[in-house]
Amino acid sequence: MLAAEPPFSLDAPSSDVTEELLTTAHLSTLASLLDEPVSNRLQIFCYFLASDESRTDALLSSSIPQPLVLLCLVLRYLILKEQKRLGESSRRFNWSLKQVHAAIASGFKAYTIHETLKADSTLTQLPAELSYPDSLSVEPTTRDIHLQSSLQLTLHSAYQLAQSLLLCPEPFSAPPSALVLGSLFHTIALTTDETTLESVAAASSPVEKEMLDWVLYDTQQSLAIDVEALRKAKRERKKEEKKLQTAAAEAEKKRAATARQNTARSGFGLLQLDDHNDDDDDDEDEEEEASAEE
């Protein structure tokens, strides 16, 4: 089963369940489900995306705009799905913190653009703060393309599920296309700066931070290590160590040079003192000779 395929279960369904999904035996049950309040249908929707009751309650009670709830659910689902598929030994192929940040930041920007244009249809260009990289300016990696594609596909499938549960256009008023922004995703994913929770928090808005906190609450240990960031950090540490070693060597050279100068000055001072003593001795001898002649 691909990550983007329903029924969004972390466990492979049995043949009985698959057969059940392909029949119309429970149409009456489905019809009665649609009569449930929106809150109940939302709970069911979240359940299909592998969110248990406590995580669902935390998400729905947050200040995250409801259209972005879909992005949070799908992103967490994909991380858990990959972790289960890959296992601990292949964890390095799962989503990394940088890629999760890229998905949230680009999704939030896309949603903000969507809401801005929806609020004012007369806009002919976006405000400067909503600008984003040109798609031709980035050269994404194959891995980032795969992850971003899986995000788009799963968002699309999840949105169809939301439609079937009558959760569109409310509360999910933004379509999947308004939750992804490929050029920004790849621009962030391609950065070589070390990505930490602190650096991501510093670059995020309050809503983005809340989204990140919810997604990472029980998935952080499943994330891949950012190998490139580790390599860069290692290179930076080596450069810093070399700088310190060079500075220490220069300081030692200066200390040795100063010591040599002090030694030379001391020797010159002693030599001058000896010459002065010799002059005094000569003067005394001359005085004694003069006294003897008298």
* 1-29 tens-digit pLDDT: 344 444 455 565 454 443 444 344 555 66
pLDDT band for position 280 (cuts 50, 70, 90)? low
Separation CA 17–CA 3 (nearest Å):
18
Indicate the burial class of 81 (C-beta count within 10 angstroms; 0-12, 13-18, 19 or more): buried
Instruction: Decide: helix, strand or coil at residue 37.
Output: coil
Cβ neighbour number for residue 14 with a 10 Å cutoff: 9
3-state secondary structure of 224: strand
Place of tokens 């969110």: 51
Q: What is the pLDDT of residues 85-100, one digit of tens each?
A: 887 777 788 899 999 9
Examine residue 171 and say whether the peptide bond preceding it is cis (omega within 30 degrees of 0).
Answer: yes
SS3 96: strand
Q: What is the pLDDT of residues 25-47, one digit of tens each?
A: 555 666 778 889 999 999 999 99
C-alpha triplet 254, 255, 260: angle, nearest 5°:
95
Ranges assigned E (strand) in 79-232:
none
3-state secondary structure of 175: coil
pTM over 0.85: no
CA distance 38 to 28: 18
192 or 114, which is more confident: 114
What's the mean pLDDT in 34-63?
93
Report in angstroms the alpha-carbon separations of 135 from 62, 94, 138: 33, 25, 6
State percent of the chain over pLDDT 70. Answer: 76
